[in-house]
Amino acid sequence: MKTLEEIREDMRECGLSDYFNALAPLAKNSVQITLNIQDEDDIPLGSSKFGGHPDLPADMEWFRMDLVDIPMSFIAQINFAEVAPFDLEHKLPERGMLYFFYDCSPDGMPWGFNPEDDHGWKVYFYDGDPAALSRKDAPADLEEDDNGMLFGSARMCFEAVKELPSTESDLTNNLVFPDDDDLQDQYWEWLDENSSELSNKLLGHADPIQSGMELECEYVTHKINCGTPDGYKIAKSRGLDKNAARWNLLLQVDSNEDIGMMWGDMGRLYLWITTEDLAARNFENSWLILQCG
């Protein structure tokens, strides 16, 4: 992985030292995820993976929607014991399994800007005996009734990476950048050249497609609808802007076309969690945002 000093030198050579100096205090460690597409029969039980069938505790059924009786689509399971060597700040548990399901039905795929969207996904943390896991068959009504998707399977590989926030992040709202359009264009060119085509990750900084999300998470979890400008005005009047930094990226899932995942127009799913809930392992409190082009 690139060190912060290597990033500094790279940006200096591109004339972007002012950008680095502004962003460096906000640098974070992330765990980048690359995919090894495999037949599911070749992926060991309990391994970290996108898609396929979940390895759930034997007494647990495939997750379904609360408001309408249809199954959710299985997105990912993450074995934290596999992630631990790459979690340099030990923010995640050293063991246990994180599961992520999402409503992929035609009337689903919630964006996360409405407080009522919270029924559209399920994040579950299992800290029990790995020997109790079993691979679950998909519900018969998952794809037959067009309720959702059964995605292809891919095992996850991990790498520790140091990264700076995007200037779109809400954490950078109070930073001062050079008032130079040409230099700004140069920054975006550098960012594009140094960004992966696919960006799946745990922790670190989100790669936003539209805008920062920290404030949206804070607002919407205080029951404020962010689908209209009025929502942002209400949130600001309540002084919620000061809480943006409490939100941490937990998981970013790109449009992994090779296994059938497409979030709108080449979009991404982002799971966010507060610092307090992350420390307390309250993963069920994670908030989801979907962004696409």
List the strands of the sheet with 73-79, edge to edge. 121-126, 97-102, 73-79, 49-50, 154-163, 28-37, 200-203, 247-254, 268-274, 287-291
Which of 192, 141, 156 is CA-nearest to residue 16? Answer: 192
pLDDT band (50, 70, 90) for residue 124: very high
CATH number, domain containing residue 76: 2.30.320.10
Which of 174, 195, 160 is CA-nearest to residue 26? Answer: 174
pLDDT mean over 108-130: 96
pLDDT band (50, 70, 90) for residue 256: very high
Cα separation, 293 vs 216, in Å, equals 18
As beta bridge partners, residue 98 has 78, 125
Total residues belonging to the chain: 293
- pLDDT of amino acid 12: 96
Quote the number of domains for the chain: 1
Count CB atoms within 10 A of the CB of residue 182: 9
| Mean pLDDT of all residues belonging to the chain | 95
Tell me the pLDDT tens digit for each residue of 207-219. Answer: 999 999 999 999 9
Tell me the pLDDT tens digit for each residue of 270-290. Answer: 999 999 999 999 999 999 999
| Tokens (6 digits) for 283 | 């993963």
Which of 137, 149, 139 is CA-nearest to residue 73? Answer: 149
Radius of gyration of the chain (CA): 19
Answer with the residue of higher pLDDT: 229 or 83: 83
- pLDDT of amino acid 3: 86
Name the residue range of residue 269's domain: 4-291
Tell me the pLDDT tens digit for each residue of 165-206. Answer: 999 999 999 999 999 999 999 999 999 888 888 999 999 999
Phi, psi (degrees; rounded to nearest 5) at 172: -100, 10
- Cβ pair 177, 167 in contact under 8 A: yes
| 147-174: burial string, b at 16+ Cβ within 10 Å, e else | bbbbbbbbbbebebbbbbbbbbbbbbee
pLDDT mean over 135-154: 92
- pLDDT of amino acid 172: 96
**pLDDT above 70 coverage of the chain, percent:** 100
Burial class for 59, CB neighbours closer than 10 Å (0-12, 13-18, 19+) = exposed
- pLDDT of amino acid 67: 86
- pLDDT of amino acid 1: 66
| Tokens (6 digits) for 196 | 């992966």
Tell me the pLDDT tens digit for each residue of 77-94. Answer: 999 999 999 999 999 999
- pLDDT of amino acid 239: 86
| pTM of structure | 0.96
Cα separation, 170 vs 186, in Å, equals 21
| Tokens (6 digits) for 237 | 């009047």
- pLDDT of amino acid 145: 79
